[in-house]
């Protein structure tokens, strides 16, 4: 590939290659503060290639490939190249990571303990984590939480936060422009804008902490909190993990321990401000 950059996010290193300079330049800018990889090796390769012979110049379209790929992935517009790079990195983690139990959850840390939030796309877990990250919590990740298989600690994976549609203006009001990526309009997921986590969250990206509380947030409903039984929590987390089956017995032990030790609740909320207040109350009660 003509243009390349190597990025380290938490324990994972990605080599990203592109036929175009634009996406690599944007990645270099947004990941400028991230610690450099310790050597030249990378866990995963992501390639952004022209979708067809002439597609590098003519209505350029990107096709994402790498160590792990999806056969039916649709080509994307070059204007959405940053999203393509982020999706490529997510895909490699989701399909290939084996060193930790990977949960589809956001995570934030306070007082040396971690709050995890799991849910489908649109549940509000990513926006809520981003908001808490600007209000005294350390943002550990908006998409994947990595659970140490032996010790049970949560490890950070503080990639760029992917903000969608209404969440963009909410977060942009709190965050300096230098930490925001370009507005990507009309993607398959609507409008998307990326945000770089605060410098302290990036600097501490090798620092894990034990989990203390698990929430299943749901945006757009009247405020309600419901304690969740361990059976339901276990089932939901096996569905939220992309590598539970691949890790076998180690994942069974790690997830069983997690569910046994960490209280879980379903949290419905009507607005971001209300959600933040609910989280802070729950955190104080837990303490």
Using CB under 8 A, which of 229, 239, 270, 286 touches another protein? Answer: 229
What ranges in 2-101 are assigned the alpha helix state H?
21-30, 81-96
CA distance 97 to 94: 6
Q: Which is nearer to another protein, 111 or 232 (CB)?
A: 232
Give the range of 75-83, 93-101, 207-215, 227-235 binding another protein by CB under 8 A: 227-235
CA distance 265 to 5: 40
Return the number of other C-beta atoms located less than 10 Å from residue 236's C-beta: 18
Kindly state whether residue 234 participates in binding another protein, applying the rule CB under 8 A.
yes
Q: Which is nearer to another protein, 112 or 256 (CB)?
A: 256
Q: Which is nearer to another protein, 65 or 238 (CB)?
A: 238
Q: Which is nearer to another protein, 157 or 244 (CB)?
A: 244
Least distance (Å) from another protein to the CB of residue 69? Answer: 24
What is the four-CA torsion angle of 161, 196, 2, 52, rounded to 10 degrees? Answer: 30
Break the chain down into helix, strand, coil percent, rounded to 5: 35, 35, 35
What ranges in the chain are assigned the alpha helix state H?
21-30, 81-96, 125-133, 166-172, 199-203, 230-240, 244-247, 249-261, 272-286
Using CB under 8 A, which of 171, 259, 267, 275 touches another protein? Answer: 259
Q: Which is nearer to another protein, 190 or 256 (CB)?
A: 256
Kindly state whether residue 239 participates in binding another protein, applying the rule CB under 8 A.
no
Give the range of 5-13, 154-162, 206-214, 252-260 binding another protein by CB under 8 A: 252-260
The 98-137 contact track toward another protein, x by CB under 8 A, reads ----------------------------------------
Sheet with 44-50: strands ordered across: 3-9, 12-18, 44-50, 61-66, 76-77
- HSE on the CB side for 237, CA within 13 Å? 31
**At a CB cut-off of 8 Å and minimum separation 6, what does 218 contact?**
119, 123, 124, 266, 267, 268, 269
Size of the site for another protein (CB under 8 A): 15
Kindly state whether residue 231 participates in binding another protein, applying the rule CB under 8 A.
yes
Give the range of 30-38, 60-68, 72-80, 253-261 binding another protein by CB under 8 A: 253-261
List contacts with another protein (CB under 8 A): 229-231, 234-235, 238, 244-245, 248-249, 252-253, 256, 259-260
């Amino acid at each position: 590939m003509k243009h390349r950059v190597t990025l380290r996010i938490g324990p994972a290193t990605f080599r990203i290659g592109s036929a175009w300079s634009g996406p690599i330049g944007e990645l270099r800018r947004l990941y400028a503060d991230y610690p450099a990889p310790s050597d030249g090796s990378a866990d995963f390769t992501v390639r952004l290639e022209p979708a067809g012979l002439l597609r590098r110049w003519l209505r350029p379209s990107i096709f994402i490939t790498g160590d792990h790929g999806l056969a039916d992935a649709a080509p994307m517009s070059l204007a959405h190249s940053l999203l393509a790079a982020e999706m490529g990195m997510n895909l490699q983690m989701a399909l290939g990571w084996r060193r930790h139990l990977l949960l589809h959850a956001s995570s934030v840390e306070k007082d040396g303990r971690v709050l995890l939030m799991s849910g489908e796309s649109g549940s509000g877990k990513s926006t809520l984590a981003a908001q808490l990250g600007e209000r005294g919590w350390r943002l550990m990740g908006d998409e994947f939480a990595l659970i140490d298989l032996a010790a049970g600690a949560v490890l950070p994976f503080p990639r760029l936060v992917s903000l969608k549609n209404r969440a963009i203006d909410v977060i942009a009001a709190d965050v300096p422009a230098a930490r925001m990526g370009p507005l990507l309009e009309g993607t398959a997921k609507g409008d998307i804008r990326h945000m770089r986590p605060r410098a302290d969250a990036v600097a501490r990206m090798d620092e894990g902490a034990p989990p203390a509380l698990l929430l299943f947030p749901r945006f757009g409903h009247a405020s309600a909190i419901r304690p969740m039984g361990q059976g339901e929590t276990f089932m939901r987390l096996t569905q939220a993990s992309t590598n539970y089956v691949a890790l076998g017995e180690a994942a069974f032990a790690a997830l069983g321990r997690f569910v046994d030790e960490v209280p879980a609740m379903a949290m419905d909320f009507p607005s971001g401000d209300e959600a933040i207040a609910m989280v802070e109350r729950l955190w104080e009660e837990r303490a």
